[in-house]
Amino acid sequence: MTAPTPIQHLPPRTKVGAGRIALSLIAVLGVLAALLFIPAGRLDWVEAWALLAAYGVFLALYAAWGLLKDPDQLRERSQARRAENVKPWDKAIMAMYTVLLLLTPVVAGLDAGRCRWSAVPLAAKLLAWLGLALAGALIFWAITTNTYLSRMARIQDDRGQVAITAGPYRFMRHPMYLGIILLFLGMPVALGSWWALLPGTAIGLLFVLRTAQEDRMLRDELPGYAEYAQRVRYRLVPRVW
């Protein structure tokens, strides 16, 4: 008789508390501030302060929602890197993403803050901020719809994962990734840097690749996803792909 395949689990459950979340939020904003202002060499960079404020509000709203409505998602997103069944290809993609993620604000700081390599018109900045607002709204819509959103690509057998078909998932299969792509295309311009679009665009291309890989994983391994994919044809952009 063949032994049943064991379910892959996250590490032992840790409590998700407001204090721990608050410290994480402060740490993330502190690192982002350092990546922006140290390369910029000055503190009178209005666009960078605006970005920090907007991102801080977004993180605070997500933390409050998660603690009240979906602490299991907070736990998944904080511990997914240590799960046993994370796909090796996603570890490679996320390693490249981390490098580009750190590089984007550094290049923006050098460009818009210290060296002034490029000049971004006000109209382009305003359009970029509109894009950031749309990206944030789409990401938050996906977060509040899909409890299984994780930082890493894996099938969450330990949480009884099923295909999500509500909210933005009625129109595209990976709305979170579309939001992230829009975010990193808009952030450099909103900060006043054309050069930072280079790592920002690279992140976008990386998430297109990740979308294709994760979609294939879900089709092969998540019950009901193949049928859902037949109904919702587009991965990222309706009527495009």
Task: Quote the tokens at residue 125.
Answer: 């900045």
Q: In this structure, which CATH number among 3.40.50.2300, 1.20.120.1630, 3.40.50.2000, 2.60.40.1180 belongs to the domain 18-231? A: 1.20.120.1630
Each residue's pLDDT tens digit, 85-101: 999 999 999 999 999 99
Count Cα neighbours of 112 within 13 Å in the Cβ-side half-sphere. 29
Mark out the alpha helices in the chain (DSSP H runs): 18-40, 46-69, 71-79, 88-108, 122-145, 175-191, 197-221, 225-231
Distance CA 129, CA 70 (A): 29
Q: How many CB atoms lie within 10 A of CB 172?
A: 22
Per-domain boundaries in the chain: 18-231
Whole-number pLDDT of residue 239: 87
- pTM score, whole prediction: 0.90
Q: Locate tokens 């990734």: which residue?
A: 177
Distance CA 142, CA 144 (A): 6
> Which of the residues in the chain have pLDDT under 70?
1-16
Whole-number pLDDT of residue 6: 46
Contacts of 85 (CB under 8 A, 6+ apart): 8, 154, 155, 157
